């Protein structure tokens, strides 16, 4: 039982029913219920961590054979939710059928132990809507999407794209703003238009100016969930108003991010700053390899879960490379060092 009482518990149960399609409800339910999940801090990502899933090369193992093990790995680490087929999750390197298979594998293993946000972003609206419909059918808790990529589209096109995704599934929707990769930056004008859509429950803010988090949070209001995106600024993002985080390097050192969040909640900001510096130094080292994707997968492999190598054009990292072995050992040492913090 949470400290929020029976009323909040009923809301969360109602949300769970609404998410799996077994109960009806007006769109006005979405934001208040997402707030309850966020406020509990244990139910949704709730200022815990949303993790990226990493895909297995189907030529190396049977189709996505490592997804169940990876999902269980994160559950055992204490992770409360997953962000499936995102940027680090190589979602754009999979076709639609493969992405659906990944979602199904994650949900089958996670059951009710984790909340699942499915990234359904695609270059075209039709396929994104299809993935959103499938996410609801598979039992996901929410969807998320970047704007259309490759083509430099205007705000009206992006507005219609995101709106079509929200109409395709009866699920909360999280805007994914990552202008570094999409060449599209979410303006306050478009953001305010999207706020009129009751299914828009939050935004994953991966734009690099930290004050964007503050602007989105202030405009969205208390019920609106803002995820910090850049891993190097997790602490800064939380202090600027982010409710939670979704990041690409969380999967390679989940215990450190969980500890960082714990320190923030306890108000031990000086220690949190020390840990953020450690994490950021590890991120720089991850990015020094031929691909961060390959480095993250190798770190996880060294920790006991083989999920294969990334798909081309991302390059693999040899697990015998002394630099990756040293990085893995340093991460594990940091985990042990900070356990008593």
Say how far apart CA 42 and CA 48 lie, in whole Å: 7
Could you say which of 52, 204, 259, 278 is catalytic?
204
> What is the DSSP-derived secondary structure letter of residue 232?
G
Say how far apart CA 169 and CA 131 lie, in whole Å: 9
197 CB-near residues (< 8 Å, 6+ apart): 163, 166, 173
List the structure tokens of 146.
């970047």
Could you say which of 54, 176, 234, 257 is catalytic?
176
Say how far apart CA 287 and CA 340 lie, in whole Å: 29
228: closest CA among 257, 262, 205?
205
Please name the residue that has the structure tokens 């004050």: 211
Say how far apart CA 235 and CA 26 lie, in whole Å: 36
Is 250 a residue of the active site? no
Answer yes or no: are the C-beta atoms of 4 and 10 closer than 8 Å.
Answer: no
Say how far apart CA 28 and CA 33 lie, in whole Å: 9
Which contiguous run of DSSP H or E holds residue 225? strand 225-228
Say how far apart CA 297 and CA 278 lie, in whole Å: 20
Say how far apart CA 103 and CA 89 lie, in whole Å: 12
Please name the residue that has the structure tokens 């990041």: 247
How many Cβ atoms sit within 10 Å of the Cβ of residue 59?
7
Say how far apart CA 163 and CA 165 lie, in whole Å: 5
Is 204 a residue of the active site? yes
> What is the DSSP-derived secondary structure letter of residue 230?
-
Say how far apart CA 105 and CA 47 lie, in whole Å: 25
* Residues known to be catalytic: 176, 204
């Amino acid at each position: 039982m949470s400290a929020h009482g029976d009323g909040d518990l009923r809301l969360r149960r109602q949300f769970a029913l609404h998410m799996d399609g077994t109960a009806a409800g007006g769109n006005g339910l979405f934001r208040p219920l997402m707030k309850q999940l966020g406020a509990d801090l244990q139910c949704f990502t709730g200022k815990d961590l949303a993790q990226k899933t990493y895909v297995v090369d189907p030529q190396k193992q049977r189709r996505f054979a490592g997804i169940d093990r990876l999902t269980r790995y994160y559950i055992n680490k204490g992770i409360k939710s997953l962000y499936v087929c995102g940027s680090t999750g190589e979602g754009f390197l999979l076709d639609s059928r493969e992405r659906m298979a990944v979602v199904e594998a994650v949900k089958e293993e996670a059951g009710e132990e984790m909340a699942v946000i499915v990234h359904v972003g695609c270059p075209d609206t039709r396929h994104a809507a299809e993935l959103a419909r499938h996410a609801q059918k598979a039992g996901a808790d929410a969807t998320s999407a970047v704007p259309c990529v490759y083509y430099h589209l205007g705000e009206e096109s992006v507005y219609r794209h995101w709106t079509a995704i929200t109409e395709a599934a009866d699920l909360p929707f999280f805007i994914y703003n990552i202008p570094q990769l999409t060449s599209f930056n979410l303006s306050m004008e478009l953001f305010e238009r999207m706020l009129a859509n009751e299914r828009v429950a939050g935004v994953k803010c991966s734009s690099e100016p930290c004050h964007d988090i503050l602007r989105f949070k202030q405009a969205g209001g208390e019920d609106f969930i803002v995820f910090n995106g850049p891993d190097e600024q997790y602490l800064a993002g939380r202090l600027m108003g982010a409710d939670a985080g979704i990041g690409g390097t969380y999967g390679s050192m989940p215990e450190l991010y969980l500890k960082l969040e714990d320190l923030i909640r306890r108000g031990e900001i000086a220690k949190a700053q020390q840990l953020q510096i450690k994490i950021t130094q590890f991120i720089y080292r991850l990015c020094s390899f031929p691909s961060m994707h390959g480095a993250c997968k190798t770190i996880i492999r060294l920790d006991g879960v083989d999920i294969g190598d990334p798909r081309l054009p991302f390059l693999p990292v040899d697990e015998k490379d002394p630099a990756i072995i040293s990085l893995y050992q340093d991460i594990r040492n940091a985990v042990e060092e900070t356990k008593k913090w």
